[in-house]
Structure 1
Amino acid sequence: MAHTRSRGEETKPSFKTTELIVYVLAVIGVLVASNVVGDGAANDGHDYFTADKAWWYITLLTIGYMVSRGLAKAGSRSTDRDPRTH
């Protein structure tokens, strides 16, 4: 009698990965830093870390996260048995 082995997914869902945790913490860090550095009283009224810079860094973090997830999924096996997707 032959045993059939079920092949699981090669990668975990994104919400279970450390990449998501690091991404969320990095975004929060950028937002907090932008708010703290942007306080005019602490730096003579000059806003050195403006909102547009903060959102630019968040955009770069998002692109990096999407690329890392794409690379992680690139080598994964598909377990989709739906004939419409082949």
Structure 2
Amino acid sequence: MRRTHDETKPAWKTTEFIAYVVVVLGVLIASLVVDGNGNGDNGAGGDFFRADRAWLYVVMLTIGYLVSRGLAKSGSRSTHN
């Protein structure tokens, strides 16, 4: 029986993909939940987390995820039959 090799296992089977999805959802939910009207209780005009800042963080997370996948592909192998 001959085994074939991929560079890595599929991305959706990795823990870093699950962590990426959870953190992206957390950033987007936080941007929805935080009050953008400046009516916070801290006396400094309130907390705000605008959508443009949230999407910037999502882009940075995506770049980090892509770099981590590139590093994973450069050094490991997965086998399947």
TM-score range, shorter chain: 0.7 to 0.9
**Structure 1 vs Structure 2 CA RMSD:** 2.4
| One-letter amino acid matched to 2:28 | L
Distance 1:69 1:37 in 2: 32
Question: Which consecutive unaligned segments of at least 5 residues does structure 1 have?
Answer: 78-86
Is the strand fraction higher in 1 or 2?
2
Distance 2:12 2:55 in 1: 23
Answer with 7-16 or 30-39: which moved more.
7-16
Match of 1:36 in 2: 33
Q: TM-score normalized by structure 1?
A: 0.69
Q: TM-score normalized by structure 2?
A: 0.73
Distance 2:70 2:5 in 1: 18
Q: Secondary structure at the match of 2:6?
A: coil
Do the aligned partners of 1:30 and 1:54 also contact (CA within 8 Å) in 2?
Answer: yes
Answer with 21-30 or 33-42: which moved more.
33-42
Question: Which consecutive unaligned segments of at least 5 residues does structure 2 have?
Answer: none
Do the aligned partners of 2:36 and 2:48 also contact (CA within 8 Å) in 1?
Answer: no
Higher relative contact order (CA 8 A, sep 6+): 2
Rg bigger for which structure? 1
